[in-house]
Amino acid sequence: MSALTVRLPNSVHQKVRELALRDDISVNQFIAAAVSEKMASVMTLDYLKLEAAKGSRIDFDRFMNLVPNAPAVEGDGLPR
C-alpha cells in the first residue's frame, strides 16, 4: 500500500470527516472509496468510447431494419 499526501481545502476536509463518520469508516477509507469510484467512472467512459469507435452506422442500420414495424405492446410505449 502507498502513502499519499493530499492537500484539501478545510471545508472539503471537514465534510469528508463528517461523511466518513456518518458511514462509520475512516477518512482514509472514504477517500480510497471516492478515488476508486472516480477511477471506475473514467475507465467506464474510456471503455465505452473504445467500443463506440468500433461501431458502424451501416451495421446499425442493417440491424434496425430487421426490427418489425409494429405498434408498441401495451405498457411498453413512451409516456405521453
Tell me what pLDDT residue 79 has.
Answer: 83
Rounded to an integer, the average pLDDT of 39-53 is 97
pLDDT of 74 higher than 90: no
Q: For 6-33, what is each residue's pLDDT tens digit? A: 999 999 999 999 999 999 999 999 999 9
| Range of the structural domain that residue 33 is part of | 10-64
Q: Does residue 72 form part of some domain? A: no
Q: CA nearest 19: which of 10, 1, 31?
A: 31
Q: Does residue 78 form part of some domain? A: no
Tell me what pLDDT residue 53 has.
Answer: 96
Q: What is the Cβ-side half-sphere exposure of residue 69, based on CA atoms within 13 angstroms?
A: 1
Q: Does residue 17 form part of some domain? A: yes
Indicate the average pLDDT of the chain.
Answer: 95
**How many structural domains does the chain have?**
1
Q: Does residue 1 form part of some domain? A: no
